[in-house]
Amino acid sequence: MNIYKCLNELTSYIEENLESKIDYNVLARFLGVNTYTMQRIFSLIAGLSLAEYIRKRRLSNAGFDLYKTHDKVMDIAIKYQYDNATSFSRAFESFHGIKPSQVNKLSTLKIFPRIIFDENIAITNELEYEIIELNELNLYGIGVTTNNNDIKIDAPKLFKSIEAKYYSKYGNINYGLIAYNNNMREECVSYYVAYDKPIKGFEQINIPASKWLKFSINSQDAKDIQEMSENFYLEFLPSCKYNLREIPELEYYHDGITDFLVPIY
């Protein structure tokens, strides 16, 4: 399966249905995975969340419609799946820089074009993995607010600061994990480092029992871990057909090794 060809089919479907409610289950079928996995693949490859992409395409078209027609703002809002004129106007102004009511023949508007992926990119890397089962984990962590763009800087910075502060008393950090803004987990909101022992002032984090894909990395360097994560989503997941559970991926640090753990059904 050419993942980039499938993504082009997905964005083509979105383009044809910007004026309708878009069913994420239909989009997931283009990639042959569940909706959560589909969104993770899209956001990693495209560099923005699927919801944000759809929002920007709709607002792009809404600006054109207001410029070319005399339709009411409320009619355009409904056309592009907004519940009311107020939420539409707020989103429109944030994107275009002007209110919908201010659009005229002299207006300067923005466009966010449809993403078209290069279908000629070859994926040839091999990734070795195991399927393991882990019992429920009770971890104790501390986190930092971040996002999809900043986590590559924020995660190692937090890790180093917590390690420097707590190593003498508690030893090595055991785990790293990412928290997301909702169950679909398109946007990360915080990164945690965690110990497997209670620490005063740390948040208790429960990870339910699960099956996991385990990828072992002979390193604990942040760049190597990030590279493994990207390789997993870009190269491994689209072809393997595993469906992910909506619980955090984990990084388990031990003996100079990082186990990158991905929860599956």
Q: Name the average pLDDT for the chain.
A: 89
What's the predicted TM-score (pTM) here? 0.69
| pLDDT for residue 162 | 95
Query: Domain residues of the chain, as ranges?
Result: 3-102, 130-264
Please name the helix (run of DSSP H) or strand (run of DSSP E) that holds residue 137, with its range, or none: strand 137-145
Amino acid residing at 202:
F
* For range 10-28, the mean pLDDT: 96
| pLDDT for residue 24 | 95
* For range 12-28, the mean pLDDT: 96
> What are the tens digits of pLDDT across the range 63-90?
999 988 878 999 999 999 999 999 999 9
> What are the tens digits of pLDDT across the range 121-156?
766 566 788 899 999 999 999 999 998 778 889 999
Fold for the domain defined by 3-102: Arc Repressor Mutant, subunit A (1.10.10)
> Is the predicted pLDDT of residue 265 greater than 90, yes or no?
no
**Integer Cα distance of 188 and 146 in angstroms:** 7
**Integer Cα distance of 179 and 133 in angstroms:** 21
Which residue, among 5, 3, 25, has the nearest Cα to 240 in the 3D structure? 3
Which residue, among 191, 140, 193, has the nearest Cα to 162 in the 3D structure? 193
- Residue 34 confidence class, pLDDT cut points 50, 70, 90: confident
Q: Domain 130-264 carries which CATH code?
A: 3.20.80.10
**Calculated CA dihedral for residues 28, 29, 30, 32, nearest 10 degrees:** 90
